């Protein structure tokens, strides 16, 4: 049977149509798709629509509206006018206000034709013609009124668009971009509802499972391997590796018991201390310390739990908020290498880029490339953005993030910065530095060294068309982010005025 089977391997670049070929084989030779499978696809189709509209952006919508104005003055009987209905329906979709975050990925609304009829009455006057309209002078007046209505709406939309500050969050994976977005929701969008908090429980449980799976799995792969302090815990490790690793795992009480006991084992603790040698999420210790609370049936995540929870960002998510009557739109995008090709679609007409880097990653390597240091990857990425010809007039606010974890690593002394960046051995803290009074001298020296590595890139061009504004941040500290964002608002306002040549 094996020798008689033809095995075909589908290869090709992303979005070349490989999966569509597989679907065609199912349609042609495997009885197609069941009713259940068709229903399950509805959410994916809705997400396709939402992503298309988000990526189209206001610029495309405005262009379509301008095209619509031309079509609107055609004679009512002209068959080309039918196209106007499609353009205006698309425009209504494009103008829908999305407040999407990675915590509510599937909640974007898809409007029905009825909702379009209710929200834009003049749209259908244009699409279908005014009932009973007379030819000649009356028809010309009717067309003029419709054209004026569109012009007024376009002017209103343009004013709103120009008054909005659009901020694009960029940075390598796991640098803290999505945590910044969560902080904006806490500070400016009434935080998270009870429903959203409950929905986060599964993600938090998954963080715990991933953490204990990764740590216990690394015990045997590190060089030299690390044994358990208590040999009787071997059965607990076997349970975690064999049972808890299953995709449909439902987190029974015994899982939490095994996890708590293993986390107390000194062998597991020593493996955690060497987590820079393998890939472990930053929130591992935080949630493993909280297992006794999270396992309770009445557990509700706190704001800090939500901030710490790690969920991979895939795609583009927009969060809207208002600060002192000023509209902000913040765009969060995935930072992994395979997500970066989507960034260019967000570059159009942004007010400022907020580049986020994890300073604590100086002794870590990428998940997608174990030969590349994470901090050097971040520096290379910053350089490519800074020198991008499409971004030469957009200034960058640099968030030097994870200062708390950087301080912990420097003070622990187990991973020296100079072992990964030889130039640090000769570096001296600049005399104009203003370190936090709580910082130890070595911590201050490390944080300013990393800052100056980025500033060296930004000052190399010397064109004076855009600037870099560095800030030390801890994304899980709400007060820190509140203070830093308030400091940045004047900078963002100046960028906005310069964007429209008002400064």
As given in the structure block, the two tokens for residue 290 are 């909280």
Cα(first)–Cα(last) distance of the chain, in Å? 75
Q: In the annotation, is 174 catalytic? A: yes
Q: In the annotation, is 300 catalytic? A: no
Catalytic residue of the set 332, 351, 357, 473? 332
Cα 177 from Cα 346, distance rounded (Å): 15
Identify the CA nearest to 24 among candidates 35, 10, 13: 10
Q: DSSP 3-state assignment of 47?
A: helix
Sign of CA dihedral 297, 300, 305, 309: positive
As given in the structure block, the two tokens for residue 204 are 């938090």
Q: What angle do CA 5, 11, 15 make, to 5 degrees?
A: 135
Identify the CA nearest to 237 among candidates 256, 254, 217: 217
As given in the structure block, the two tokens for residue 56 are 């189209």
Q: What is the DSSP string of 283-296?
A: THHHHHTTHHHHTS
Report how far apart, in Å, the C-alpha atoms of 408 and of each of 33, 273, 402, 442, 481 are.
53, 12, 10, 11, 20
The sheet carrying 468-472 orders its strands as: 316-323, 326-333, 164-170, 352-358, 396-401, 468-472
Q: In the annotation, is 194 catalytic? A: no
Catalytic residue of the set 58, 174, 210, 453? 174
Report how far apart, in Å, the C-alpha atoms of 124 and of each of 94, 120, 141, 202 are.
17, 7, 17, 45
Catalytic residue of the set 146, 166, 185, 310? 310
Identify the CA nearest to 92 among candidates 138, 51, 123: 123
Catalytic residue of the set 179, 183, 313, 357? 179
Cα 368 from Cα 365, distance rounded (Å): 9
Q: In the annotation, is 265 catalytic? A: no
CB 170 within 8 A of CB 399: no
Please name the residues in contact with 487: beta carbons below 8 A apart, sequence gap of 6 or more. Answer: 471
Q: In the annotation, is 179 catalytic? A: yes
Sign of CA dihedral 114, 116, 119, 120: negative
Cα 302 from Cα 36, distance rounded (Å): 36
Angle, nearest 10°, between helix axes 121-128 and 137-162? 140
Q: DSSP 3-state assignment of 365?
A: strand
Catalytic residue of the set 164, 279, 336, 493? 336
How many Cα neighbours within 13 Å face the side chain of 211? 28
Residues labelled catalytic: 174, 179, 310, 332, 336
């Amino acid at each position: 049977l094996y020798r008689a089977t033809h095995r075909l391997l589908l290869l090709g670049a992303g979005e070349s149509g490989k999966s569509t070929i597989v679907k065609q084989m199912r349609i042609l030779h495997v009885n197609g798709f069941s009713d259940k499978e068709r229903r399950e696809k509805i959410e994916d189709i809705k997400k396709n629509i939402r992503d298309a509209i988000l990526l189209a952006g206001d610029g495309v919508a405005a262009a379509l509206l301008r095209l619509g104005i031309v079509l609107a003055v055609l004679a009512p009987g002209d068959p080309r006018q039918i196209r106007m209905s499609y353009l205006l329906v698309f425009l209504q979709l494009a103008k829908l206000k999305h407040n999407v975050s990675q915590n509510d990925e599937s909640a974007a609304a898809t409007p029905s034709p009825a909702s379009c009829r209710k929200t834009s009455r003049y749209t259908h006057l244009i699409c279908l013609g005014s009932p009973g309209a007379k030819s000649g002078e009356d028809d010309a007046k009717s067309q003029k009124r419709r054209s004026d209505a569109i012009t007024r709406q376009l002017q209103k939309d343009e004013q709103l668009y120009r008054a909005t500050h659009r901020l694009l969050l960029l940075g390598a994976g796991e640098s803290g971009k999505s945590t910044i977005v969560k902080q904006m929701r806490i500070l400016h969008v009434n935080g998270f509802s009870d429903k959203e908090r409950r929905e986060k429980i599964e993600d938090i449980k998954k963080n715990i499972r991933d953490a204990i799976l990764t740590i216990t799995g690394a015990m045997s792969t590190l060089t030299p391997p690390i044994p358990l302090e208590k040999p009787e815990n071997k059965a607990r490790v076997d349970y975690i590796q064999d049972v808890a690793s299953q995709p449909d795992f439902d987190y029974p009480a015994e899982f939490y018991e095994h996890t708590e006991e293993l986390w107390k084992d000194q062998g597991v603790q020593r493996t955690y201390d060497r987590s820079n040698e393998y890939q472990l999420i930053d929130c591992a210790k935080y949630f493993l310390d909280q297992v006794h609370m999270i396992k309770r049936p009445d557990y509700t995540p706190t704001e800090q739990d939500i901030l710490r929870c790690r969920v991979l960002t895939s795609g583009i998510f927009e969060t809207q908020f208002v600060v002192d009557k000023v509209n902000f739109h913040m765009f969060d995008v995935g930072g992994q290498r395979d997500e970066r090709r989507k960034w260019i679609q967000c570059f159009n007409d942004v007010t400022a880029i907020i580049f986020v880097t994890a300073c604590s990653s100086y002794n870590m390597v990428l998940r997608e490339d174990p030969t590349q240091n994470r901090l050097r990857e971040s520096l290379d990425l910053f350089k490519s953005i800074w020198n991008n010809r499409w971004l030469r007039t957009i200034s960058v606010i640099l968030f030097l993030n994870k200062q708390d974890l950087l301080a912990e690593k420097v003070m622990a002394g187990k991973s020296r910065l100079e072992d990964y960046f030889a130039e640090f051995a000769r570096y001296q803290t600049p005399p104009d530095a203003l370190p936090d009074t709580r910082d130890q001298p070595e911590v201050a020296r490390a944080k300013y060294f990393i800052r100056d590595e980025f500033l060296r890139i930004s000052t190399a061009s010397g064109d004076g068309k855009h600037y870099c504004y560095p800030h030390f941040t801890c994304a899980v500290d709400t007060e820190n982010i509140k203070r830093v964002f308030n400091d940045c608002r004047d900078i963002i306002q100046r960028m906005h005025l310069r964007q429209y040549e008002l400064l």
